[in-house]
Structure 1
């Protein structure tokens, strides 16, 4: 069995068996897929609801433009995949490691993320409205233009991420952590009560706060 990403952050890493059998990538509503490998497969644009994946490894698997409402991933590894513009409302990730993936425009609104890591990926223009982040670490990712409106980010940590123009209006931020992130042009700064920000990020954040308060910074 291989275990991913155990760290001092306290996240529970996914447990994904070694030597998983590779099977054809096919999805229908209410499917259950367990202990398999989906590699170099393309299901762009597919529609299937209430699909469940358990102890599955996705490697270079395409779900671009797919619609998977209420999909559930548990103990999964997602590697170098293209899930751009995937719509997965009210979906769940639990003990999932996502690395090197393109997820531009992904919609996970109303969903749950628990013990999830995103590393070195494109998550720009993603939709996380009303999602709950419960022990989530995002590292080295492009999140420019992402929408976190009314989401619960109390269990989220962002490190080395580009959050340019991201929207946080109405988000719950108590305990959310930001370190070495680009915060230019973020929206909803008044929702940041209780957020924990690294000193290196304060300069960029101060300009956003000044703008929200109507303060003019002269050159």
Structure 2
């Protein structure tokens, strides 16, 4: 992302259909509750920016850095991110449906109860994220890696996890464990996963 950016202001840079924001620094701006189709953010910095409760369709984020922002309950349909880094972003309850994430890093983000159904992940890294009860139903996770993440109660039903990597993650109580076929899981994480796999295979575990 470029080091020299123009300064975004509100309401001049509020969301509207087919808006194209390029090389802008969005800092301490509240865009919460707005709605727009086909919005583009290219080479932008978004620091402490609220997209809480925003409704987007066919949005695109390219070559952006997002830091310390509140995107809770953002609803984005058929939207894309490419070469984006999100650090310490609140994404609780976000709905990112039928989208594409390519070369994206989520670092220390809160993503509990996030819904990422039918989304494709390519070269995507989750590092130190809270993903409790996140929903990856029917997602293509073949290009995803999870490191030091809490995935307790997350849902993976019908997800494609061939090649997905889980490193030092909490996997207790996950749903759709059978869909983890082809994934790579750290040995230390297998104990928590045992009960989910047993339930998926209708195996009864007796305590000795």
- Band of TM-score, shorter chain: over 0.9
1:1-219 to 2 correspondences below 5 Å: 16-24=1-9, 25-219=13-207
Query: RMSD in angstroms over aligned alpha carbons?
Result: 0.9
* Aligned structure 1 segments of 4 or more residues deviating by more than 3 angstroms: none
CA distance in 1, matches of 2:190, 2:148: 14
How far does residue 22 in structure 1 lie from its aligned partner after superposition?
1.7
CA distance in 1, matches of 2:182, 2:82: 25
Which secondary structure does the structure 1 equivalent of 2:56 belong to?
coil
Rounded Cα–Cα distance in structure 2 between residues aligned with 1:84 and 1:192 = 28
Mind listing any 5+ residue stretches in structure 2 that lack a counterpart? none
TM-score by length of 1: 0.91
- Cα shift readout 1:56-85 (whole Å, capped 9, x = no counterpart): 000000010000111100000000000000
Deviation at 1:212, TM superposition (A): 1.8
Give the Å deviation of 1:214. 2.4
CA displacement at 1:215 relative to structure 2 = 2.3
SS in 2 for 1:205: helix
Gaps of 5+ in 1: 1-15
Q: Secondary structure at the match of 1:68?
A: strand
- Equivalent-residue separation in structure 2 for 1:169 and 1:212 (angstroms): 10
Q: TM-score, normalised to structure 2's length?
A: 0.96
Name the structure where strand makes up a greater proportion of residues.
Answer: 2
Per-residue deviation, residues 157-176 of structure 1 (Å, max 9, x unmatched): 00000101111000011000
Superposed displacement of residue 21, structure 1: 2.2
